[in-house]
Structure 1
């Protein structure tokens, strides 16, 4: 009997990983790299460069990739900026940092570690004195970028950005998937069997109370986010973010470059009153734009406001 149960368990494990691998292969084939792959100390970084003008680095949020910005935003910027986009570690087509990789790992690349990796890739691309925009989790990486290179960062633009400590936890999903057990056992099950209807509903919740733009889910490639490597990296990064934010906050007064913050009043994922409203007076040269009734994705639903914030940052930094 024990032998039969063991064989059944092994068979189920094989089935889960076979189906997960098949789904990952389909996502990789449907959404290949759209930029170049740069080797940084053995870590592959996916970068895309478009346009000409002052350098503008765009850093995406949790579970995302550079396709969030290539949906239509980059085309609105490339006539006057050299736009540089990066997939963050473990997401899109950028490798996770080796010390944080693996099925049973519960550690994560910190915002500082992510910023340093992307800065090395930016150096390879000849990026100089950039405006750095970060959305959501990417806002924490943008802040870490500025703290790491204060004299070579022209300005920061923080869009719906995580910038401050928060009360409470992030929910049972992140607790489970961000753990070593969840990484090794639960995530392969999700990759193998999560229905597309659930995925589209999750994207809709990110855009709420606005609607998801037509074609967005297909463009961004949600299957890339559901790969085991990406799910692990994302869960672990989000799960370990709070102590890293607490370390950064006391240093915000050293960020003397212009900072433009833009945040929706209806953002329930990264609430305005917990983050941007508190961060603004902590940053010496900051300006906050609030967007009444707007949720977590203003770079899509009120894109002209975000582009205007970028232009203001460029002007304040003397780049325009």
Structure 2
């Protein structure tokens, strides 16, 4: 099943080696460097679906699969923190010759973008529906709780990969986008079979499970960020809440601009794409 998934959804970009591990990087366009960082469970296809094509006429756009997801190899313990992922992707960016890139990131990816900016130069940040601040409770859901455990990793995860619940996965895509709808054709394009591979499920669950503790580690350093920051968040987002993440971050960063997208859910980078692209363009003018 997994071999068939990989054959059906091959890499769309280049496979480069960083510290002995494969990193998948999709690049298009010319102009200032723009890096797009995807959220939990996703891969480069989240952006190559239609967003890259709307930016490549004026940016050199680079989209990375985060470690352990898509076609990028798992890098072990370092893959379980946004700081470790950022350090790995910074090395990949340097290998590709990126210069002071602008970073746009969604959901979990926003924490990686913040970690990147704390470690290395960036022209600015565009953070969409981000998971960036501590929250109450564990807020993972039953699947994440099981999949990140040792027992769940050797029982539930192989069963899911062997008998992939594509119908459930499609419903999950729609629930993430709610109360709006995912773009037509998105669920077919993104590569649900890739997302449902055993190692991808395990790595993703462990990344999400440890995110809160790593946000606590980064939080004291947020105020030292002086680069321009655009923060966008849907008021109807039921995955990450604007009142928990984006609004407190905006208060910590006086140079940031907060845009609340009325009625938008968690996939605002698709459903409110014009506003997101406008925020990107604002940071290069």
CA distance in 2, matches of 1:171, 1:218: 25
1:159/1:298 contact within 8 Å kept = yes
2:91 maps to what in 1? 120
Deviation at 1:260, TM superposition (A): 0.4
Q: Residue 264 of structure 2: which of 284, 288, 294 is its match?
A: 294
Q: TM-score, normalised by structure 2?
A: 0.98
- 2: CA distance between counterparts of 1:234 and 1:198? 17
Paired residues of 1:260 and 1:287 also in contact (CA < 8 A) = yes
Gaps of 5+ in 1: 1-22, 101-107, 316-320
Alpha-carbon shift at residue 195 of structure 1 (Å): 2.6
Query: Over aligned residues, Cα RMSD in angstroms?
Result: 1.0
* Alignment match, 1:62: 40
Instruction: Check conservation: 1:255, 1:284, Cα contact below 8 A.
Output: no
User: Does the 8 Å contact 2:164/2:193 carry over to 1?
Assistant: no
Deviations 1:38-88 (A, max 9, x none): 101111000011001110000000000000001110111011111011000
Aligned pair 1:188/2:166, yes or no? no
Q: Which residue of 2 aligns with 1:11?
A: none
Partners of 1:195 and 1:162 in 2: CA distance: 26
Give matches, 1:230-309, under 5 Å. Answer: 230-309=200-279
Structure 2: 5+ residue runs without aligned partners? none
Aligned match of 2:124 in 155, 158, 163? Answer: 155
Query: Which structure would you say has the larger Rg?
Result: 1
Corresponding position of 1:13:
none
- Deviating above 3 A after TM superposition, structure 1's stretches of 4 or more consecutive aligned residues are none
Q: TM-score, normalised by structure 1?
A: 0.87
How many residues end up aligned between the 2 structures? 284
Q: Distance in 1 between matches of 2:90 and 2:214?
A: 19
Question: Given the superposition, is the C-alpha separation of residues 161 and 99 from structure 1 closer, same or farther in structure 2, using an over 3 Å criterion?
Answer: closer
State the secondary structure of the residue aligned to 2:254.
coil
